[in-house]
Structure 1
């Protein structure tokens, strides 16, 4: 019992360290002053200015679009990879495949970005595809490392699920594809949602890899924010960041509720 005040204090400091800067950013998005560190009164002026900032809004929309496509592609590839690693444990090359999946998790982003840039240049010289650098190369690059994260999440769920349900369905005459869509997919759906959200966040947040593989007309939001920091952060960025935080928080809350309902249904 004596440890409770200390643990509670450490918990408070931990949450303050993690969420304090985000809360500060959201508060100063309503600052009337152009200086993001000087409070001059409450105002929604910068939200109105944000609506007229077409380059920033275009970059944000591009990042959201690329992140959604990347997350969907990563979930598809990650699910297939997880099925191969969990369902077919004895195939040759499994250890190599497992290592290749884990490599993007620990490899520096600079190395990933440079290697993918060289790959895309070589493919364009040999195959004529992809033509130049742009949205397609960003999606392929982001899906490369996002798939590794999705695979880890889905693989963990597949490894811990009750396999007797699948075996019973197969014994009753169901085809493997029918078993996957009727039984396996609903059970692992919370992991798929979590993997999709994780891949979406990784793509939205990426700066280093996108800087290597992007081209004219494919400037993402992190690239715009990074370039603007050199001239001083605009309060409009604070306003846009606040909107993103609110939207992402709602999405996570909804996803958490869906996962809770799925878990409850599985237990019953």
Structure 2
């Protein structure tokens, strides 16, 4: 009994320490974004001035908009490609080159981003010399690089969900004469929707946060938010960066909460259907 009590106390302490380690820096960032002082480490009173400065900074807002655009587009394409790749890996039997295909899918996850970014840079430079496309490095090349990176993560998530999923509903639909395409959209897709939402959020975070690969693939006029923050932080901390970080946390929190609500709604719907049957 005493051992159980001690473990319970230790577990609570560990949980509290872990949460503080993860979220206390974010809380400090949010609090000091309302600081009136120009010094990020000295509290001088509550103020919204740095948010006004942030919204008036055209360079920051342009970089923020570009990062959101690339993240959304890269996540959408990564979900499509990752779902198709996950279906191939989970539902197709052994075929020639399956091991190579699986290795190519997971390679971006384990390969250093410096190597991936450099190799893609050399690819785009060679394509420009031989084909004249792309004309310059910019949004398109950044998007391709982010899709390459994020698709690997989405594939792992979707494949894991498909492997664990009960195929009895799909087999019953096939016995009743449903075609594979209809089975996918009516049965399989709703069942893997939580995994798709998780893959989208993971891809969005990876794309919005990427700096190394973007540094290789970006060009003049295509500065993303991580690049801008990195260049400004090297010159010294500015409370405007705290305000920018707070808005980024807010955007990500809204997306995560929305995705969780969708997944909970899907779980309740599946539980109701199972109880009715």
Q: TM-score, normalised by structure 2?
A: 0.94
RMSD (Å), alpha carbons: 1.0
Cα distance in 2, alignment partners of residues 122 and 183 from structure 1: 44
Does residue 248 in structure 1 map to residue 252 in structure 2? yes
Which residue of structure 2 aligns with residue 185 of structure 1? 189
The count of corresponding residues between Structure 1 and Structure 2 is: 268
Question: 1:121-156 CA deviation, whole Å, 9 max, x = no partner?
Answer: 112222222221000000000000100000011111
1:144 maps to 148
**1:247 CA displacement:** 2.0
Q: Which residue does 2:86 correspond to in 1?
A: 82
Alignment of 1:51-200 (within 5 A): 51-200=55-204
Q: Distance in 2 between matches of 1:128 and 1:78?
A: 29
Other structure's SS at 1:2 match: helix
Counterpart position of 1:206: 210
Task: Give SS of 1:162's match.
Answer: coil
Asked if 1:11 is matched to 2:12, the reply is no
2:35 is the alignment partner of 1:31: yes
Distance in 2 separating the partners of 1:205 and 1:128: 30
Moved over 3 A (4+): none
Partners of 2:224 and 2:117 in 1: how far apart?
15
User: Which consecutive unaligned segments of at least 5 residues does structure 1 have?
Assistant: none
Question: Any gaps of 5 or more consecutive residues in structure 2?
Answer: none
TM-score normalised by the chain length of structure 1: 0.98
Q: Provide the rounded CA distance (Å) in 2 between the counterparts of 1:263 and 1:124.
A: 48
> What is the deviation of 1:219?
0.2
